[in-house]
Amino acid sequence: MYNVLIADDEIEVREGLKLKVDWEGMGFAISGEAANGLEAEELLKSHSYDLLITDMNMPVMDGVQLLDICRSYNPSIQIIIITGYEDFQYARAGVRSQAMDYLLKPVTRDDLKSAVNKIKQELDKNRKVRDDSEMMQWRLSQYYKEMKERFLLDLVHGSRLPPSSLPERIRLFHLEDWQDGRVCFITAGMRESGMQKAPQGRAPEQLRLPFELVCHEIAESYPGGVQVFHDAAHPGIMQFITLDGIQHEFADKLAAQASSYLTIEVQVGLGLPVLGIERWKEGYIHSLLAWNLAGRQNGPDRAPVTDQSPLLSEETSRALHRCLIRGELESFRSMIRRELREAFRLSPSRLVRSLFQITLIMESTAVDYIRHSQGGEPLWISPEWVLWLETPEQAERLLMQWAQDFVDQHQESGDRGATLIESAKRYIEENYMQELSLTSLAEHYNYHPTYFSEMFKEGAGVSFIQYVTEVRMKHAVRLLQETRLTVWDIAELTGFSSPGYFSSKFKKMFNQSPSEFRLSQSEKIEHDDPKK
């Protein structure tokens, strides 16, 4: 419903206007009445109106003065002027003040209905523009958040992002003040032992979405101080990056509000503060370890991490990954046995940390190779499982069982080359906004670039470069259709090296420029819309 304000010094005229048309049936509500311009001004200050119907000749403050100040309170308000024939000059003044229409007294039913219908069409049009703009902002917000979370995951997982793309991504996601600062990672999840406090009839998985929403809401109460993300492979577990110094306050607030709103206990892992973006992976691993230790102890909600020794080396991580994808289980066994025994010799907590890092490597490999054939996440790996392992022999048996499961599923999925290409295509779909090269992707899958290029073209039917361009162009077309972003912004968001290169590729593919395409789509929508 649209709100209407009637301003006229004669009560009979105001009552007559209310009775001459079916306001409610036309989508309007008479929400305010004023006997002069001063009363109307007070109402305009305190309430929101869509339509003002005003007499031009009123005491105290006439319609001319009212119109002069009306749009300062509500620039988008629609106005209908009512005036006598002898005061027609007032109507002309109203037209200069951008009144939508004017009616001569006595106002007839048909004239009023016609004027109000015209106003209704204009208000509907403006509302649609506003709603479309709000929807566009929401879509962009969701799109932006998803891109940012994916970038944060790449950083903390240690993915080898092209160095040249880092400054651009950091600027795009407003992380300039974070990359060189001292930060602390926090891992938070619903404590299994606290599930008995959950509302009756609510399973833990039903509380995951409310828990995520609470986490985002609390993080937003620390503008500029907290980043939040989560890994879809671990539902019910949320990750935070806080500026060093607020992590304890934030963790306390998270636990208190989760208990208050959802009546659940939260298990929190506080990682060691780290300095510089290159150490984010280390801070992330430490927070995961602290979270697991808190669950293992089943004591305080937070367990401190004191072990600051180096993580598994990048060389070891890559070797484990390579053994898995090649099915070299004995080599894999030899490597993890050496790592687990050395870790246990140092301390039980070091065993947990090493085991946890190995499970993350296996999980990353499984996500790459299993998801397409299984139609979902590899649920057979879960970080919570490390809580029940006490010796390196137990850990080795469990890891080898997982490794065997991976190899078996990999072989059952059919042609290995086809599975590899599907995984590569999904990798491109998830990282098209980043700088992608054939060399980096081949290295990701442990293949020589020339051999990988031939495999990809045979499996995908097009070259690597062509496939990447098509994926980027698909997303660019969606942004051109659904948003008002500039060509420059769209080129940046979809991974093209420059707006000029994007425009030339677009024109070559669609025989028109991005701007011409956007204009043609707008004209098509107007032509196809029966209301136009």
pLDDT above 60 for 194: no
For range 523-530, the mean pLDDT: 55
**What pLDDT does 319 receive?**
87
Kindly report the backbone phi and psi dihedral angles of residue 310, in degrees, each rounded to the nearest multiple of 5, phi listed first: -60, 155
Residue-wise pLDDT tens digits, 21-73: 999 999 999 999 998 888 888 898 888 899 999 887 777 776 677 877 887 78
- In the chain, the amino acid numbered 447 is Y
- Please say whether the dihedral angle defined by the alpha carbons of residues 175, 177, 179 and 183, taken in this order, is positive or negative: negative
Contact 53, 7 (CB under 8 A): yes
122: nearest Cα among 76, 91, 167, 83 = 76
**What pLDDT does 81 receive?**
85
- In the chain, the amino acid numbered 60 is V
pLDDT above 80 for 444: no
Residue with tokens 């085991």: 355
**What pLDDT does 127 receive?**
87
pLDDT above 80 for 89: no
Residue 329 CB-density burial (10 A; 0-12 exposed, 13-18 middle, 19+ buried): middle
Contact 367, 378 (CB under 8 A): yes
pLDDT above 90 for 332: yes
Run of H or E including 190: strand 182-190
Run of H or E including 328: none
Could you please report the per-residue DSSP string of 451-506? Answer: HHHHHHHHHHSS-HHHHHHHHHHHHHHHHHHH----HHHHHHHTT-S-HHHHHHHH
Residue-wise pLDDT tens digits, 390-412: 788 988 988 898 888 888 776 65
What average pLDDT does the chain have? 80
**What pLDDT does 503 receive?**
92
pLDDT above 90 for 101: no
**Low-confidence winner among 258-267, 365-374, 386-395, 417-426 (lowest mean pLDDT):** 365-374
- Residues near 109 by Cβ (< 8 Å), separated by ≥ 6? 20, 21
Kindly report the backbone phi and psi dihedral angles of residue 62, in degrees, each rounded to the nearest multiple of 5, phi listed first: -85, 180
Could you please report the per-residue DSSP string of 373-396? Answer: HHTS--TT--GGGGGG--SHHHHH
Angle at 102 between CA 36 and CA 7, to 5 degrees: 15
Return the SS3 of 268. strand
pLDDT above 90 for 116: yes
Q: Return the top range by mean pLDDT from 82-86, 252-256, 430-434, 438-442.
A: 252-256
pLDDT above 50 for 375: no
Angle at 195 between CA 194 and CA 201, to 5 degrees: 155
CA distance 427 to 367: 10
**What pLDDT does 187 receive?**
92
For range 475-500, the mean pLDDT: 86
pLDDT above 60 for 209: yes
- In the chain, the amino acid numbered 242 is T
**What pLDDT does 527 receive?**
53
Contact 363, 386 (CB under 8 A): no
Contact 44, 5 (CB under 8 A): yes
Question: Helix axis angle, 464-482 relative to 416-431, nearest 10°?
Answer: 40
**What pLDDT does 511 receive?**
92
CA distance 171 to 211: 30
**What pLDDT does 154 receive?**
81
Q: In this prediction, what percent of the chain has a pLDDT beyond 90?
A: 24
Run of H or E including 103: strand 101-104
CA distance 279 to 273: 10
CA distance 245 to 250: 10
Tokens representing 408 are: 């078996």
CA distance 526 to 532: 6
Tokens representing 375 are: 């139609």
Contact 42, 32 (CB under 8 A): no
**Low-confidence winner among 88-92, 205-209, 287-291, 494-498 (lowest mean pLDDT):** 88-92
Higher per-residue pLDDT: 380 or 209: 209
Higher per-residue pLDDT: 3 or 446: 3
For residue 192, the tally of other CB atoms under 10 A from its CB is 15
Q: In this prediction, what percent of the chain has a pLDDT beyond 70?
A: 80
Contact 66, 35 (CB under 8 A): no
**What pLDDT does 117 receive?**
92
**281 pLDDT band (50/70/90 cuts)?**
confident
